[in-house]
């Protein structure tokens, strides 16, 4: 641990962190550093070449198995099945604005 035993305050979320669970140069906790911005997430999803890679972008894990059933997409990760709905919405809906 650094010489500052009280820890540091993340400039993004305000939580306390130290040099083991954050970056003192960036002045942010690891959780905030690892979050993707909305724009980065949308860009990565649009570039995804498969449903598996899109699921990996959203969850951080490549699915063991993906199945489509009755217009629904299910994926298996860590031995459990999950339902996911991926739809591209109009930009004005995503922003919560009407044009």
pLDDT for 1-45, tens place per residue? 444 567 899 998 999 999 889 988 888 898 888 887 777 888 888
Non-local CB neighbours of 15 within 8 Å, separated by 6+ positions: 9, 29, 31
Closest of 61, 54, 59, 62 to residue 86, by C-alpha: 54
Please state whether beta strands 72-77 and 65-69 pair in parallel, antiparallel, or not at all (unpaired): antiparallel
pTM of the entire structure? 0.52
Dist CA 24 CA 17 (whole Å): 9
Residue 62 has pLDDT above 60, yes or no: yes
Closest CA to 17 of 5, 85, 91, 46: 5
The residue extents of the domains of the chain are 1-35, 50-94
Q: Which residues neighbour 23 within 8 Å (Cβ) at sequence distance 6 or greater?
A: 30, 33
């Amino acid at each position: 641990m650094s010489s500052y035993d009280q820890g540091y305050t993340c400039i993004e979320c305000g939580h306390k962190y130290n040099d083991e669970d954050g970056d003192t140069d960036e002045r942010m906790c690891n959780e905030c550093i690892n979050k993707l911005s909305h724009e980065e997430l949308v860009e990565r999803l649009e570039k995804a070449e498969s449903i598996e890679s899109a699921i990996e972008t959203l969850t951080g894990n490549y699915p063991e198995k993906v199945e489509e059933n009755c217009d629904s997409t299910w994926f298996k990760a860590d031995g459990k099945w999950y339902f996911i709905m991926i739809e591209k919405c109009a930009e004005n809906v995503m922003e919560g604005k009407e044009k």
